[in-house]
Structure 1
């Protein structure tokens, strides 16, 4: 009768000769054999800046996150740089919206002013990124221009993205994040940047951005005017293989780095993308993921810092080189300490 260990490294007496626990015995041992390491430089801080306010405004569904003034944004950027964070992704919240998102391309619009302010504060110490999308600026809340039937017009939207990209580059963005999921957006933006002489401004393509239920707090953060949903342009959560098709298109159009969004619900997609490319891969830990951890921690149901760090390590393990997270500065300080 077999003891269940025969042929599997069993020592005399039936006890196991192979004991993986030997490599878990002390903190030093665990550090030595760790397969993945999280660094402050892996992190990017998403930040919101709102026009027409004189003090930061708390976002109720995202405890600890605010809509910044230009001054408080400058401080947040400086703090992130001091903590070793590598980048900051800016989202603008205008006072006035219209059907075509005019504030998004206005040289004096809130996002362009924010880009100039952050560059003046940190220079090249952070990679200053801009969300290249119209949803914060349109009165209907969609990521593009609507046609006569109320549908998002892909190609009319591309023309607006080209204008927006040049405006953001002129304002000082190092990297653009086209997040609208319009077909051809990366190629159109690349052509517009190159034609305007901004050959060094790069793109972090939102390659796989899903029509997720986890964006709710973000919509509060940007004072969203969304009517309807974004299922005709963001990806269906049922589809994983489709992300590889989007990936091939973005790379062919000149994407410098690629991203999967949301993060935790799509770790399988992140892993597939990371295995398929030789460009940097990012994951965006979005507002709903942040809010869930904060809410559970506030109720004492989980250990907050351990949970944060575990989620960030999950992205690294799945293949992310870069992680966008609202905990970026906090986590970077903890890692450095």
Structure 2
């Protein structure tokens, strides 16, 4: 069982967990320099009402840990902030090709001088429904890097929340779908250096908050106060609201070649930051109906219709769209190389 391996693991070990279901087996990983991986497919861990240290399915306290090809399901704790992984380590935590489903938090990290990397992973339906628990909640660490990952349908909380001093998110997909109740699609409550590149964001009609992406809502306590978004597609199908919320006092806002599409004319930037102070180039604003497949979570398609293609100046069509290679996140293949705006070429 994984817990038995955790009890004897030593620095430098590689722990291989056979694919299959592991029920009620929780673990605390205290050794450092570990690689923990599923073999023959994903190892699926179900809390079944149990927890490690009152914190979640796994508590990771060692430094420099890689976790690959594992799933974490239904973590709950008495304090109601149980996590699939509770990360309280220093150094580096890397998550690869893994899934976090129906936990109170997918990943919950302590603050500290550490960095976390998430690659090709999925976070779905995490959150207790109280607004304080999220698909992923990263505390005040040094750096968070996310690539080619999929965040969707958080329960009232945020699909993504990072207090890191530096956050970079690339080629990833954030979605409420037609029934999701999440608050922000992405939340950076303390500012920091934030770079969003090549992502797709879809705020659904039943979201609990009308703002898609929020920056600095709880005070600009991080030393760097810059927000940059390039080649993202942001679709808001909830009435009213805004694509971005950014307060005054931010030193730099740069928006390049993004596609913003909404229902009932969402504001581009709310929160106090003057739109005229942002450095903007080649952004396009349209109505959500010009991206007809953006609200279909089972078969997402962010490709613009003919009206929006003409507005963008796009003269090519994709020869493939999103496909779901279970259990991996969505993959986008075969799209043209002549992208001009939006996340038409990059995707998880």
**TM-score class normalised by the smaller sequence:** 0.3 to 0.5
Structure showing greater Rg: 1
The structure showing larger relative contact order (alpha-carbon pairs under 8 Å, at least 6 residues apart) is 1
Under a length normalisation based on structure 2, what TM-score does the superposition of the two structures give? 0.32
Larger strand percent: 2
